Amino acid sequence: MIELRNITKIYNPGEITEMTLFHDFSLTVEDGEFLSIVGSNGSGKTSMLNIICGSIPIEKGEIIINGKNIAGTPEFRRYTNIGRVYQNPSMGTCPSLTITENMALADNKGGKFGLSMGVNKKRIAYYREMLSTLGLGLEDKMDIRAGSLSGGQRQAMALLMTTMTPIDFLILDEHTAALDPKTAELIMQLTDKIVREKKITAMMVTHNLRYAVEYGNRVIMMHGGNVVFDRKGTEKAATSVQDLLGLFNEISIECGN
C-alpha cells in the first residue's frame, strides 16, 4: 500500500516564482490496484510520482509504503521494491551495454554487485526465453548494444527488466507517450499482462484517455494539485472516454481557456 499523507510541495520557495503545487495532499493506493492517472499539464501527476520515488524533495507530509514512512529515505534505496519506467525509452536501458548485459544488471537488482562475473552464462537461456515472449526478435540479437534498438524495443525491454526481480510497486510515467500508436498498444498490453501475472500494484500516468479507461481498475483525474475525479471497481468499469473528456472540458472552462 502506498499512502501519501498531507503532502505539501512548493516549487522555488522564497522566490518570486514560488508555486505551491500540493497543499495537504493525500492519496491512498491499495495493494493490487492498477491506478491510471490523467490530468492536464502542470496538474501534478508526474510530480506525485517523483515525490513517491524521492526524485524531488517535499516540504511537509508523510510517504508511507508498506507501513513505513520513507519521506527521508534517499531515492536509490526506495527503488528496492519500486520499479519505474519513464517516458523517454532511453532512460530504461544502458545504451553502450549489450542486451544480455542489461538483462544481467536488472536480474541482479537487490543483490551484491561484487567481483563475480557480471553475466551468469547459465541465466542466458532464461533471458532469451523472456525476450522471446515479447515477439520483437530481440532474442536473436542479444549481443548487440541496447543503444541501437528502436524506442519501442527499448521500452519493452525496460518493462521486462524492471519487473524481472520481485517488486511491490510499478511506476509508469507516460511510458507509451514517445511511441507510435501500434507499439504503444503493444507496450500497454504487455504492461497489463505483467501487472496481472505478477500481482503488482501499479500507478500509470497517461495522456491517453482510452488507455486510462480500458486498463486498470481505478482511475483518477488530477487538477491543480488535487484529485478531482476518482473511480474504482465497477464504477470505474462503467466510466467511458466521454465521461473523462467531459470533465476535462469543464475544468478547462473554469480555467478560462
Partner 1 sequence: MSVFFNTCEVFLESGFVFSLIAMGYYLSYTILDFPDLTVEGTFLSGAVVYGLLLHHGVSPWFALLAAFLVGFLFGTLTGVLNVKLKIRPLLCGILVSTMLITVNLVAVTAGIAGDFKGETSSMITIGRAMETLMEVFPASLLPDKVSGIGLRNVVVFFVLAILLKLLLDLFLKTKCGLLLRASGDNAQFVVTQAKDAGNSKILGLAIGNAYAAVSGALYTEISGSVNQSMGIGMVVIGLASLIIGLSVFSRVHFMKATTKVIIGAIIYQACLTVAQKLGMPSAYNKLIMAFIFTIALIFSEYKKHGKHRAKHRERKESSHD
**Which residues of this protein are in contact with partner 1, per CB under 8 A?**
74-80, 83-84, 86, 90-97, 101, 104-106, 108-119, 162
Given strand 68-69, what is the order of strands in its sheet?
Answer: 19-29, 2-11, 60-65, 68-69
Determine contact, residues 87/49, Cβ cutoff 8 Å.
Answer: no
Ramachandran assignment for 32, one of left (phi > 0), alpha (psi -120 to 50 degrees), beta (any other):
left
> Rounded distance, CA 192 to CA 187, Å?
9
Supply angle C-alpha 164, 169, 175, rounded to 5: 75
- Kindly tell me which of 180 and 254 has the beta carbon lying closer to partner 1: 180
CB of residue 84 to partner 1, shortest distance in Å? 5
Determine contact, residues 88/34, Cβ cutoff 8 Å.
Answer: no
Burial class (CB in 10 A: 0-12, 13-18, 19+), 176: buried
- Kindly tell me which of 10 and 105 has the beta carbon lying closer to partner 1: 105
- Kindly tell me which of 25 and 79 has the beta carbon lying closer to partner 1: 79
CB of residue 102 to partner 1, shortest distance in Å? 8
CB of residue 226 to partner 1, shortest distance in Å? 28
CB of residue 118 to partner 1, shortest distance in Å? 4
DSSP state of 214: H
- Kindly tell me which of 113 and 122 has the beta carbon lying closer to partner 1: 113
The sign one gets for the Cα dihedral 243, 247, 248, 250 is positive
- Spatial CA neighbour of 136 closest among 187, 84, 92: 187
- Kindly tell me which of 79 and 211 has the beta carbon lying closer to partner 1: 79
- Kindly tell me which of 121 and 199 has the beta carbon lying closer to partner 1: 121
- Kindly tell me which of 68 and 210 has the beta carbon lying closer to partner 1: 68
Query: What does R_g of the chain's alpha carbons equal in angstroms?
Result: 19
DSSP state of 71: T
CB of residue 83 to partner 1, shortest distance in Å? 7
The sign one gets for the Cα dihedral 128, 153, 137, 146 is negative
